[in-house]
Structure 1
Amino acid sequence: MLRFVTKNIGVAVVQIFVVATIVFLLLRFMPGDPVLLVLGTERGADPVAVAEMRATLGLDQPLITQYFGWITDIARMDFGQSLFNNIDVTAYIAERLPKTLELAIAAIIIGSVIGIFLGIVAAVRRGSFVDFIVSTIAAAGMAFPVYVTGTAFILLISLQLNLLPASGYTDFSEDPVAHFKRLLLPAITIALPLAASIARMTRSSMLEVLGKDFVQTLRAKGLSEKLVVYKHVLRNAIISVITVIGLELANLIGGTVLIEFLFNWPGLSTLLVDSINNRNYPIIQGSIIVIAAFYILINRTVEVIYGLMDPRTR
Structure 2
Amino acid sequence: MIPTTLDLTADPQGIARAADLLRQGLLVAFATETVYGLGGDARSGSAVAAIYEAKGRPSFNPLIAHVASVQAAQRFVQWSDQAQMLADAFWPGPLTLVLPLREGNGISTLVTAGLDTLAVRVPAHHTARALLAEFDGPVAAPSANPSGQISPTNAEHVRAGLGGRIAAILDDGPCGVGLESTIVGLAEEPTLLRPGGVALEQIEAVLNARLHLHQSGDLLTAPGQLQSHYAPDAPVRLNARTRQGDEVLLGFGPVECDLNLSAKGDVTEAASNLFAALHKLNESGRPIAVSPIPNTNLGAAINDRLCRAAAPRDS
TM-score, normalising length: structure 1 = 0.23
TM-score, normalising length: structure 2 = 0.23
Larger Rg: 1
Structure with greater strand share of residues = 2
Structure with greater helix share of residues = 1
